[in-house]
Amino acid sequence: MITTPPQVPPPTPKEPKCGSVKGKADPNDSRRRFHFLIEQPTGHERFASHSDDGISIWITPYKRDTGAKQESRQIMSFYGTKMAYPRDESVRFADHPGFETTNDYLVTIEFINVIYTGTADMDGLTLYEYLLPFDIEEVISDQISGNECNKLPTPYYRNAGGTGGPNNPMLMATRTGRVANLAVKMNVAAAVSSKIFVGVREVGSTTILGSTVSIPSPGKTLLTFTANTGHKIYEVVAGYDANANSALENSEVARVFEKTPKKDSSGGAVTTNLGNLDKIIIVEQGQYVSSKNWLFGGGNTPLTDYAGDILEAFAKGSTTVTDATTTTVGIVVTSTHPSLTHQVGAKWNATCQDTTHRFDFANGTEPSDDFEASNALKTIIDTVIQENIAALITHGAGKPGWPVLTLPNFSKPNDFKISESADIGVNELHLAFGSVTITGTLQVSFRVLNPTTIEVGTINIGGSFDDLYDFDYWSGSNAQSGSMVQAGHASLSTAANPSGKIFYTRLNYDTGWRALGKNFIK
């Protein structure tokens, strides 16, 4: 007798994400034989079995309505160092007496440690073809609780120029000592979540440093573990607790977290250097202190000026800097600030905001004087005059003497690393400010020499630029030290020395009238 299958809607068919394991009942033996087509898994080097090299298939029938399970049985196993894919295997339930395989039951099919769940329609002809894998959806830094500001995946992988992001691998620090905290969002069926464990290991290591049972998303699986010393790179993994010891073992790992698209900021495919994709750099307290102490002295470069002073202020958490004429406090900074590379260096609230301060360098201070003598400003003056030469000629045509015209406000991007590369010693402007957008107003005193040429006698230019003071872990080993202090700010700094806090800087400039003596041609 053919019975009507229970009206349980099957999961939405979708392409399996973890390889492909499909089952079909054999039309010639629909009740008792299933075929499994096992395709090459993606995201795994191989299917690792309990004994490292091979596949084992376990089936656990459980009641559709109550979830009550029967005993799990290993019904098949294959061993060998190199498995060939795809594999077409079949199993006869008749060979395993005692299994309940009626329509009241679903089956949990375990391939190695990967759990695939499907409706096993025992009286029909097909086993549910699209099998539902569990997956790690998000990994969130839980360095300080109550926010989801520092997390993976990121919108893209590596930075192809520009400023800020991506924070991948994600930089974070321990809460205290070497104790690190992560929050993981798991896509896992509630029925099997108690057997799925989430863990973390150092990249390249087989030691699971900590694990915990998964909680289906939108809940968070909170993972606490002891990080290794220094600033190592870690990965989040998950798998089926096959030996039921309530801990994830390396041999049980079936999933390694990887969600970020393999593309760069311009959308181009990234095919190399994918080893750090969706990994986590964790800075422990000893490393934080060591890096901070190095920064205290302005790195190891003696005789630096304001760049060293600002660095020391960052390392000490000081709100005063030599040359900074004022400090403005209470300025909001958000974790999504476009030039913030790593979402660390602040104690983010639930909306990913914190307040910080800004060092203002007034006109006449050393940074301002340096800027006024910089190639950057020379280039801006030339560029702005050239952009407005038509207006200047119109304004000055027929006028005697040296007429003055105030040109429209300008806004120009500049990278001090490039514009001031001719500095013999420490390029203070570059180290202190980096890439900024310079705004200002230019007044020009000039005369028209002919319908296409003007002579600019003097100029008067003033304005400002702002910057966010933060570090990129990947921008040289010295910047790495800065980034690690920044990473530790939220949890490892003290109230007396809130080291590593990101802050703003603002440089004001006003040259007054000064000679230029240059011709410009339309």
Partner 1 sequence: MLRTWFTIPLACFVIASIQASEPPITVADLAHLTGYPAGKLKVKDETASANEKAARKKKPECLSHHVYSSEDGTFATVSVAIGKKGTLLTPELDVKAKEILEKAALTPDAPVKLRALSLGPGVQGYGGLGMAGGGGSMDRSVVSLSNHDRDIQITILFGENALTPLAGADAYQQSIVTSEGVNAIIEKCLTVVSSNIVASTEKPPTVPSLLPQRTAPATPSSDQTPMANDSTLASTPVPQSPAVGVERRASVWPWVVGAILALIVIGALVLKRRA
For binding to partner 1 (CB under 8 A), which residues are involved? 158-164, 264, 270, 272-273, 290-291, 293-295, 297-304, 307-308, 310-311, 314, 339, 341, 373, 375, 415-418, 420-427, 429-435, 467-472, 474-482, 505
Strand partners, 236: 200
Strand partners, 135: 187
- Minimum distance, C-beta of residue 308 to partner 1, in the bound complex (Å): 7
Is the CB of 216 or the CB of 297 nearer to partner 1? 297
Is the CB of 12 or the CB of 272 nearer to partner 1? 272
Q: Which residues contact 112 (CB under 8 A, 6 or more apart)?
A: 47, 48, 49, 50, 55, 56, 254
Is the CB of 313 or the CB of 393 nearer to partner 1? 313
Is the CB of 110 or the CB of 305 nearer to partner 1? 305
- Minimum distance, C-beta of residue 312 to partner 1, in the bound complex (Å): 11
Is the CB of 143 or the CB of 483 nearer to partner 1? 483
- Minimum distance, C-beta of residue 481 to partner 1, in the bound complex (Å): 6
- Minimum distance, C-beta of residue 178 to partner 1, in the bound complex (Å): 18
- Degrees to nearest 5, angle at CA 313 with 312 and 315: 60
Q: Residue 496: phi, psi to the nearest 5?
A: -70, -35
- Minimum distance, C-beta of residue 233 to partner 1, in the bound complex (Å): 13
For residues 340-365, one letter each, b for 16 or more C-beta atoms within 10 angstroms of the residue's C-beta and e for the rest, the string is bbbbbbbbbeeebbbebbbbbbbbeb
Give residue 44's region: left, alpha or beta (phi > 0; psi -120 to 50): beta
Is the CB of 19 or the CB of 500 nearer to partner 1? 500
What secondary structure does DSSP assign to 168-189, as a single string?
A: -SEEEE-SBTTEEEEEEEEE--
3-state SS string over 105-167?
Answer: EEEEEEECCEEEEECECCCCCCECCCCEECEEEEEEECCCCCCCCCEECCCCCCCCCCCCCCC
- Minimum distance, C-beta of residue 60 to partner 1, in the bound complex (Å): 45
**Joined tokens for residue 511:** 């040259």
Is the CB of 174 or the CB of 414 nearer to partner 1? 414
**Joined tokens for residue 342:** 């790593």
- Minimum distance, C-beta of residue 343 to partner 1, in the bound complex (Å): 15
